[in-house]
Amino acid sequence: MSVIHSPQTTCSRQRANPWHTRRVRIAEIIPELAGVATYRMILEPAEEAAAYDFAPGQFNMLYVPGLGESAISHSGDPAVRGEMWHTIREAGNVTRALARLPVGATLGLRGPFGTSWPVEELTGRDVVIVAGGIGLAPLRPLLYTLLHRRGEFGRISLLTGARTADGLLYSGEYDRWSRDMDLQLTVDRATPGWTGPVGVVTLLLQRLKLPDPGNTRIVTCGPDVMMQYVARTAEGRGIAAEHIRVSLERNMQCAAGLCGHCQLGPEFVCQDGPVFRYDQVRLWMNVEGL
């Protein structure tokens, strides 16, 4: 089969040998939401930890012996070497088994894989980050990077939402983030004590002040239908499709573009993505069930 890979401007730091498996130890487990926890993992031995780095938006394959692998995005700070953070939702056999592992348990890891958020292309731009639910996890490394280099970017806005307030991810970091960016939250359904906006996250984008749409870049992660509405809303406000980045989630089993499970049109999400320019994948995202 002949496969045409579309050009990507975001970087990939995938190692030459994608099958090299490292050992990682769970050093800390942080409960986040019902069925969601963040795992701080330490690479072993020390020389492996020193050699490992990743770019915001990339993912690892986590291997639970006897069960298999699951593709999990990085959710930690790329500037911190020797450890990694993965926010994991229980959604299948592998992630449910991982959720039962205690601190100190070891598992296998391959990676990092995939394309990344285009940090250098965002330099000097106004950046709008739109996240839905657990979609904030792959965006958190980008947030950390932008804040470390805050003076290199224009206005930074984080728009994030969940079904209810108790589904808002990383709420303990909101105060810190809001000191250096515009943070806006919304929920689909208000519960007692909620005084913020009610509605889907695209409503926040519709209302957001955009001083210069031509100098604005959109990055988004969440359910496909949410990202499609984010992209359409952004285009309606004068932001070109090539200035919108989406992160796609598919059934990634090999992470090397061989098994075909993550194929989307002519693209292999594990290699050509998961971060794509919206104009490159909009046609395939519009095909229901593809």
CATH number at residue 60: 2.40.30.10
* Residue 177 shares a structural domain with residue 225: yes
* Residue 124 shares a structural domain with residue 179: yes
Residue 205 CB partners (closer than 8 Å, separation 6+): 128, 130, 159, 230, 233, 234, 237
Cα angle at 160 between 90 and 181, to 5 degrees? 130
* Residue 103 shares a structural domain with residue 162: no
pLDDT at 16: 58
Q: Is residue 283 part of a domain?
A: no
* Residue 156 shares a structural domain with residue 186: yes
* Residue 59 shares a structural domain with residue 75: yes
Q: Is residue 155 part of a domain?
A: yes
- Predicted TM-score (pTM) of this structure: 0.93
* Residue 150 shares a structural domain with residue 206: yes
pLDDT at 288: 75
Question: Which of 61, 81, 113 corresponds to the end of one domain?
Answer: 113
Q: Is residue 145 part of a domain?
A: yes
- What's the Rg (C-alpha) of the chain? 18
* Residue 108 shares a structural domain with residue 158: no
Summary count for the chain: helices (H), strands (E): 9, 14
- Element housing 159 (H / E): strand 156-162
CA atoms within 13 A on the CB side of 12: 22
pLDDT at 1: 32
β-pairing, 59-64 with 36-44? unpaired
What parts of the chain have a pLDDT lower than 50? Answer: 1-9, 11-14
CATH number at residue 187: 3.40.50.80
Could you give the number of structural domains in the chain?
2
* Residue 124 shares a structural domain with residue 220: yes
Q: What is the pLDDT of residues 207-230, one digit of tens each?
A: 999 999 999 999 999 999 999 999
pLDDT at 8: 47
Domain hosting residue 207, numbered range:
119-247
Angle between helices 224-236 and 278-285 (to 10 degrees): 130
What is the rounded CA–CA span in Å between residue 277 and residue 272? 11
Query: CB of 5 within 8 A of CB of 114?
Result: no
How deeply is 135 buried, as exposed, middle or buried, from its count of CB atoms within 10 A (0-12, 13-18, 19+)? buried
Token pair listed for 245: 């980045």
* Residue 26 shares a structural domain with residue 145: no
pLDDT at 5: 39
Cβ–Cβ contacts within 10 Å for residue 50, how many?
A: 11
* Residue 238 shares a structural domain with residue 129: yes
Query: CB of 231 within 8 A of CB of 246?
Result: yes
